[in-house]
């Protein structure tokens, strides 16, 4: 509870986490498995307006467009959707919802509010059926990690979760964003199922995030954090939030910064308990959340009761 209150105020620290989580974080820092070599300058202490301005100036949503090797030689220019992700949704999207999969959304009765948005982004295998009252049933975009595409448990090719939506997939690439190295050794091989899915479902918009976009967001989190953050990609949650901030007039994020309903229940749809889901071990999740807290323009009451944060779309930001 103390940590939760500090998170709402934006002054939580890793030192408040369970020693087990701190230990896991330390191990990731030492392993540096993606070869992170941060060259940016720390700019801690930026105001909300300065932060937004920095985001607007820097954040460029990028997906693989098949123009770079090795993908160019593999015919990916004709394989990827003809319309870029940035131009797929109408420019008039007023408000968008980002719905995390956190257990704390159970019993929230937020479904109706979530569905009232012009577009809704959900993550990975998070279902709506059976949970409509709390999470709604509209899905416009589904952001999926490479394990969804490769682990048979998720039935990527036949599950209805991945049909009739815009799909955006990602996989941790080297920090250098060397596409050859990544193609040879992805974390999970998403390339083969991606090609197959594109060939079988050419009309479904389906994109892979460019590693440069992912690590650019990581750099921004590190720049604005005093402590050394985990040298691993931001969580799907953070990627989805920044994607929607680039596409929408305003973004309402549900149960990313946890509400009073917070427990160790990892996901609303499965009985698995682990504080790392909410606070991070592999992902720099606590730092992501502290950054998002600084950007919040919503009411404190909405944060506590709904776990809701309101963020301006980047197009609307005036610098």
Residues that bind ligand C5P (CB under 6 A): 100-103, 123-124, 235-237, 256, 266-267, 277-278
Report the nearest approach of ligand C5P to the CB of residue 87 (Å): 26
Largest CA distance in the chain: 54
Q: Which is nearer to ligand C5P, 80 or 229 (CB)?
A: 229
* Contact between 279 and 294 (Cβ < 8 Å): no
* Contact between 21 and 277 (Cβ < 8 Å): no
For 265, which DSSP code? E
Half-sphere exposure of 176 (CA within 13 A, CB side): 8
Alpha helices in 248-299 (DSSP H): 276-279, 285-295
For 118, which DSSP code? S
Report the nearest approach of ligand C5P to the CB of residue 7 (Å): 11
Q: Which residues, other chains included, contact 181 with Cβ-Cβ below 8 Å and sequence gap of 6+?
A: 173, 174
Report the nearest approach of ligand C5P to the CB of residue 256 (Å): 5
- Tokens 């050859």, located at residue: 180
Query: In Å, how far from its chain's centre is CA 84?
Result: 19
Report the nearest approach of ligand C5P to the CB of residue 103 (Å): 6
Q: Which is nearer to ligand C5P, 52 or 99 (CB)?
A: 99
Report the nearest approach of ligand C5P to the CB of residue 78 (Å): 31
Q: Which is nearer to ligand C5P, 140 or 236 (CB)?
A: 236
Report the nearest approach of ligand C5P to the CB of residue 260 (Å): 15
Q: Which is nearer to ligand C5P, 101 or 139 (CB)?
A: 101
* DSSP letter for each residue of 71-99: TGGGTHHHHS-SS-GGGTS-TT--EEEEE
- Six-digit token pair at 46? 């930026």
Q: Which is nearer to ligand C5P, 80 or 120 (CB)?
A: 120
Q: Would you call the peptide bond into 2 cis, given omega within 30 degrees of 0 as the criterion?
A: no
Q: Which residue is nearest to ligand C5P (CB)?
A: 237
* Contact between 84 and 204 (Cβ < 8 Å): no
Report the nearest approach of ligand C5P to the CB of residue 179 (Å): 24
Give the Cα separation of 215 and 34 in Å (integer): 10
Give the Cα separation of 71 and 295 in Å (integer): 36
* Contact between 227 and 17 (Cβ < 8 Å): no
Q: Which is nearer to ligand C5P, 76 or 123 (CB)?
A: 123
98 CB neighbour count, 10 Å cutoff: 30
């Amino acid at each position: 509870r103390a940590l939760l209150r500090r998170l709402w105020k934006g002054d939580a620290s890793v030192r408040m986490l369970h020693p087990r989580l701190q230990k896991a974080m330390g191990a990731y820092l030492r392993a540096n498995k993606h070869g992170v070599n941060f060259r940016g300058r720390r700019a801690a202490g930026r105001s909300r307006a300065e932060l937004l301005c920095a985001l607007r100036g820097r954040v460029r949503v990028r997906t693989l467009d098949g123009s770079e090797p090795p993908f160019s030689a593999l015919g990916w220019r004709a394989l990827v959707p003809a319309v870029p992700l940035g131009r797929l949704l109408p420019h008039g999207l007023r408000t968008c919802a980002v719905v995390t999969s956190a257990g704390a959304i159970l019993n929230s009765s937020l479904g109706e509010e979530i569905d009232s948005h012009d577009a809704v982004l959900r993550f990975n295998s998070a279902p709506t059926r059976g949970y409509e009252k709390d999470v709604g049933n509209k899905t416009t975009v589904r952001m999926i990690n490479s394990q969804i595409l490769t682990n048979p448990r998720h039935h990527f090719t036949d599950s209805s979760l991945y049909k009739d939506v815009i799909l955006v997939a990602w996989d941790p690439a080297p920090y250098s964003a060397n596409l050859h190295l990544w193609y040879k050794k992805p974390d999970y091989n998403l390339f083969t199922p991606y090609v197959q899915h594109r060939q079988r479902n050419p009309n479904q918009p389906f994109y892979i995030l460019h590693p440069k976009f992912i690590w650019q967001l990581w750099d921004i989190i590190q720049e604005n954090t005093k402590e050394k953050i985990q040298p691993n990609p931001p969580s799907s949650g953070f990627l989805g939030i920044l994607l929607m901030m680039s596409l929408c007039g305003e973004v309402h994020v549900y149960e990313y910064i946890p509400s009073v309903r917070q427990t160790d229940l990892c996901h609303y749809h499965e009985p698995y308990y682990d504080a790392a889901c909410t606070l991070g071990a592999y992902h720099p999740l606590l730092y992501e959340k502290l950054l998002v807290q600084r950007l919040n323009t919503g009411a404190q009451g909405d944060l506590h009761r709904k776990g809701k944060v309101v963020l301006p779309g980047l197009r609307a930001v005036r610098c």
